[in-house]
Amino acid sequence: MKPLVLILCTGNSCRSHLAEGLLRAAAGDILEVASAGSRPAGYVHPIAIEVMGEIGIDISGHKSKHMNDFLSHEVETVVTVCGNADQACPMFPGQLNRHHWGFDDPAHATGTHEERAQVFRRVRDEIKRVFDAYAAGRRDALKR
């Protein structure tokens, strides 16, 4: 079984889904990846779906989930991508690692659709850099 990495955010509508899609693309062969929220919004933001599609990653099938749905799962690593989720995060069975990498919430972007999409792209690219490095580190650890 692949170790489960759970990515948490408050609403589970933007950042955590961007991170889930990106980490799954970078390391889905060696990690199980899921996301959830402390107060799930109940949807995945359409602009998040749009900007991920621009880089060839389809998250249109993702669902907004509550972090408590994972309390009975063996979660090896928890990564919080917003401050509120970091503060509300419980311990999960089997949890060995916890990381907090905070990113701006693109859902708060204002302006035209294109201006808002630019904010989503910036946050997506910031998340990609961090999670690509994390995936590379996990691969290096497997080689040892």
Residues carrying an active site annotation? 9, 82, 89
Longest Cα pair distance anywhere in the chain, in angstroms?
Answer: 49
User: How far is the C-alpha of 5 from the C-alpha of 42, rounded, in Å?
Assistant: 21
Task: Take residue 59 and report the two structure tokens written for it.
Answer: 């998250």
User: How far is the C-alpha of 41 from the C-alpha of 131, rounded, in Å?
Assistant: 23
Beta bridge partners of 52: none
Distance linking the first and last C-alpha atoms of the chain: 19
Q: Are 37 and 9 in contact (CB under 8 A)?
A: yes
